[in-house]
Structure 1
Amino acid sequence: AEAYNNLGNVLKEMERLDESLQAYQKAICIQPQFVEGYYNIGFFFQEQGRLEESVQAYQKAIQIQPDYAEAHINLGVALREQGRLEESVQAHQKAIQIQPDYAEAHINLAITFLLQGQLTAGWKEFEWRRYRKRDFKRPLWDGTPLNGKSILVYAEQGFGDTIQFVRYIDLLSDTNTIIIVACQPELKSLFKSIDRIDILVTKGEDIPDSDVHVPLLSLPYIFNTNLDTIPARIPYLYPNLKADSVCNLDGNHRLKVGIAWAGRPTHVNDHNRSIDLKWFECLLDIRNCEFFSLQVGVRRDDVKQYRYHHIIKDLGKQFTNFHHTASAILQLDLVISVDTAVAHLAGALGKEVWTLLPFVPDWRWMLDRSDSPWYPSMTLFRQKETGDWSTVFQQIKLALTQYSQS
């Protein structure tokens, strides 16, 4: 059984998926109580999006070995991906009961809480990220008054996270405090417009000494953010259009619509949130609209590949940082984007933005609402069931037709 299980792992690495699954199944056929085989089958099905089969395999592993913390965690993730949030919470809590200091269990519990809109409980559990945090010599800030001290605030996740949570810099309101921010290089020119930042550095640059430090995504916890206290004043980013603008759109009277259809390919959930550009085809003949691609990276070439270059103007080819993207967005009337940094940026600029979400989205968008408390100018268009973008684009087409006529 062990040999077939190992063979299954090797075949999966080689992307020989059918043979990999057969090897795992052979392992549990030889040894029906082989818990690792069921766990690997669960993980295999989860990666393939076959969530119900994944749940059943994890449950079988747990039946054989009830104290298998990793199986409880992955069961919780699979249940969350099905939208079964209460069961997901229970699975993660069981993993924590088995192993109280298991950071991954706490972080996954946090994600489910946040998706439910239970922000207070979610931020608390999310602090278990400290086991992943960078090691600084200075103490971690706990929210006590800064009283003129210096504080280093540093980005720790993706571009969208940094754009969303940089708003908290304004809450560090002690004018005597020196605020040092470390962000991704692509965001540096954009963040220069934030007055409260005294020193702005990026990866690879020397970080000045500070009295305390804090990861950017710990600020919602420190400031006790709940649904009623989200700092949602927009805009909170003010790019200098004269300083570094790479495009000037003409001033005709047609509705200028920017689109983005794909996020970072390495994102763990990219297969759910990025879509084929062809989905936008149903919008391209709506009268009084002109379309602009805000896409960067390899997927920018989709415009040429699908021969849309005569309908969709490619702005993304000129972007080398987010200040460029922001300057373009400010010249548009509307942005339609999947869940990427472009959607966050449009929201942070106060631009009207329609964000396209999978059935179970990233935690920040929560469930069962068409607005976002983080971005007052944003409307959320959600899948009604996993993988169904058709209904989403029917709604988008109707909304855009009405919007263009008004």
Structure 2
Amino acid sequence: MDILLVISKFLPEYTGAAYRIDKLYQSLGESFSVSVLCGGIEHKSAATYTHRVLKVERLHDRSSGEKNRWLRLFYYYWDFLAARHALARRKFDVLHIAGTSAQTCAALYHASRHNTPTLLELVTAGAHPLQPLPLLGKICRPSLPDRTVLVAISEPLATRCANYGFKNICWSRPNPVDEERFQPQPAMKAELRQKLFPFGETDVVITMIAKFMPQKNQIFLLEVLTRLPGNFKLALGGPVARSGPLASRDASYFENLTSQIKSRGLENRVFIKQEFIENPQEWMQASDIYALPNRDEGLATPLLEAQACGLRIIANAQEDAFHCWVAQNETGHLLPLDPDLWSGAIKQSLDIPPAKLQERADHIRTRCGMERTTRIYRDILTYLASQGPNQTLEEVLNAHS
């Protein structure tokens, strides 16, 4: 089966969606032949390259990250037409679309015109199941092909699909968790902490792994830390954009973060690793609490991974997607972004019994395990490419219930 993945940006430019989809196709194996068409924000120039075994064509992306509203609109249509031309040159059985950009919009219009079987993933809080063209969306809106499956990574996104009349073709699923890597390791905790962090065995370590950018809101955790006793420590890991239109914004944000650490006298209580974290499960297994002060999230995968590792969760209550996956007042707390409330909840969370954290870890690993998710994807892709008798998405999903 030949699959074309059209995604707003792809590795080596990091996005959670690209990282997960790459892992998915690694798990699916050689029975699926996959190529990639993408744009980019950090990497905007046109390029053709190979990632692992995937052939990737990155189109010149003029619109993503453009700050001037009218220039962004002009470039959006330019990029849209360039993507339509690139799509017309290719042959494939299934179109897999993820993200929101001129390139993904073009892919959806292409699928609509040619009735191409389509797997469309909604991966951000503001994602739209139809991705209409700016200004022309009401008079030139795409229709979904006869064989389409929408993938919503949170219940709020699934509700949005249902409101557009797409409930019967929507699979609501959490981001998959690698159950082999992400699991509680209490016997290894002290050893991992000594290996990874400059913190002691009796310290309480709060961890957050995310790209350093305003949306992730790591700076808020400094306010929280100042309200906690000295044995509470903070570990922050993730990359900072080095190029592209958002690089200066993110560099300024990171500089502000490090400046506030110094001005608040937190140098000995905050550990920062400014790069992509290759071993997030070890960071989590070495920690006590996972914090998510994020804003505007579709669904932060570490929310699930941290629970699979047996961590307590403290998260932003204003994010609807978090409500679906935090066991409120049992193994975690959802709170507004008030540092006094957060510091109190962090101290209170230490009373959660280890047995309850283990129970939650088992539930997450069973419900969100990568093995189960991969099997469902395999069946959905086979269903989309099938030319046989009609089958419903419900029947496909029921086979895995």
User: What TM-score comes out, normalization by structure 2 length?
Assistant: 0.40
Which protein has the larger Cα radius of gyration, Structure 1 or Structure 2?
1
User: What TM-score comes out, normalization by structure 1 length?
Assistant: 0.40
More helix, by proportion: 1
Report 1 or 2 for greater relative contact order, CA contacts < 8 Å, sequence distance ≥ 6: 2
More strand, by proportion: 2
